[in-house]
Structure 1
Amino acid sequence: MEHPNVEDTYKTLSKVSSGLYKDRSSKFHYFAFPVKTEEEIKNHLADLRKTYYDARHHCFAWILGINGDSYRANDDGEPNHSAGDPILGQIRSNQLTNILIVVVRYFGGTKLGMSGLINAYKTAAAMAIEENEIIEEQVKSQLKISFSYPAMNEVMKLVKNQELNIIDQQMSLDCQMSLEMRQGLFEFVLNALQEIESLQILEVEE
């Protein structure tokens, strides 16, 4: 039984990166964060607003989810589409998700114009990504199973062959085991386990 090749990886950033980009005396402080929830995004934005409380603009864009279904771009007072969209464009052109980029601007007295603003925010976002590290992450699924001792060999063979991660196991009258795997293997592993005699699926977390 061959397992299917299901898309279950995504590209994101490995750490937080930050720096400063200057254009005609305006300062653009840029920050990139790996994130998994909107709650995390709100917390990062709140922290930056506290630290850079006197800045005129806190422009940002974020994308969440393996398919990048959830996203937002915010110009925070800059002309429409001059800040959030160029930041979002950099995230998309690097095919990243689960990422937040914030660019905090201090106005330097010289107006940059629409094309100047777009270029400045695009450059700051590109630098935030460049100075970070792009990594590939796997989406994980979990299963909890219970089986009698005679089935142990079959279970362990599946664990070894499919490189499943045993998170937890308890041995008493029967065996209980929590397994973690990449999401693309989930259906295959579930079907294989259901063919093992005496084995029960207790919990499923996709």
Structure 2
Amino acid sequence: MDGVKIVYQGGEGEIVEKKSRFIATVCPVNSEQDAVQFIEQMKKKYWDARHNCHAFVIGERNEVSRCSDDGEPSGTAGKPMLDVLLGSGLHNVCVVVTRYFGGTLLGTGGLVRAYSQAVQEGLANSVIVEKIMSCRMKIYTDYNGIGKIQYILGKSRAITVSTDYTERVVVEILIEKGLFDGLCKEIVEATSGKAEFEKLEECYCAAADGEVIVF
């Protein structure tokens, strides 16, 4: 099932081109208002820079996209920055590239390359995850069935959240929505219909550095 690629934690990257510094700051955003606030923060932080160019995309289908050259020649900063974001497949992200002029003009091609590379460097230093629509569910089984269920879960793409051993064994898991029915069918067959299921909710989840993130 297709997921949604997002920035979980923003990052910063910097390149130097003919003594001009290009500092890219990446931030996850959920709305155009979030993006505008972030851009203003960066302009205040780097108030002494010649340019603070930006680009952002909002929505799971990139319903909103904006960019600004902030004084650079038209099409040499904002558009190349936006192209990098769109090309990366990311959603709900804003990037500001701050330029401290080094005294040497870079020309149109040089500016396009510098701003593009700065954004790529910023993204490389960010934590990017793919959040996938998943089902949170509980599986109820007797002690004779838990071994079979754990084997099935181990070779599946399910994430085990918890396992409680009482009169019965209760296993709570997260499984991609598109794999839910197939997993239930496999467990039913393996336990001769003795296992029971409770579907709790649908949610987006992702993994980053071994940590399970639920959105």
Structure 1 length normalisation: TM-score? 0.64
Matched, 1:17 2:17: no
Aligned to 1:74: 67
TM-fit CA distance, 1:190: 4.7
Aligned to 1:124: 118
Contact 1:167 1:179 in 2 (8 A): yes
TM-fit CA distance, 1:68: 5.5
In structure 2, C-alpha distance between the alignment counterparts of 1:126 and 1:88, rounded to whole Å: 11
Q: Percent identity?
A: 21
Residue identity opposite 1:102 in structure 2:
V
Contact 1:82 1:118 in 2 (8 A): yes
Residue identity opposite 1:204 in structure 2:
E
Aligned to 1:165: 159
Aligned to 2:172: 178
Structure 2 length normalisation: TM-score? 0.62
Q: Summarize the Cα distance change of 1:144–1:43 in structure 2 as closer, same or farther, 3 Å threshold.
A: farther
Residue identity opposite 1:97 in structure 2:
L
Please list the CA deviations of residues 25-66 of structure 1 after superposition, one character each: whole Å capped at 9, or x if unmatched. Answer: 754322345x3745986675455334213335332224467x
Provide the aligned length of Structure 1 versus Structure 2.
196
Contact 1:145 1:202 in 2 (8 A): yes
In structure 2, C-alpha distance between the alignment counterparts of 1:177 and 1:45, rounded to whole Å: 45
Aligned to 1:104: 98
* RMSD over equivalenced CA pairs, Å: 4.2
Unaligned runs of 5+ in 2: 204-215
Unaligned runs of 5+ in 1: 1-5
Residue identity opposite 2:179 in structure 1:
L
TM-fit CA distance, 1:96: 3.9
Structure with greater proportional strand content? 2
Please list the CA deviations of residues 92-111 of structure 1 after superposition, one character each: whole Å capped at 9, or x if unmatched. Answer: 34x34255432013456777
Contact 1:12 1:96 in 2 (8 A): no
In structure 2, C-alpha distance between the alignment counterparts of 1:120 and 1:47, rounded to whole Å: 22
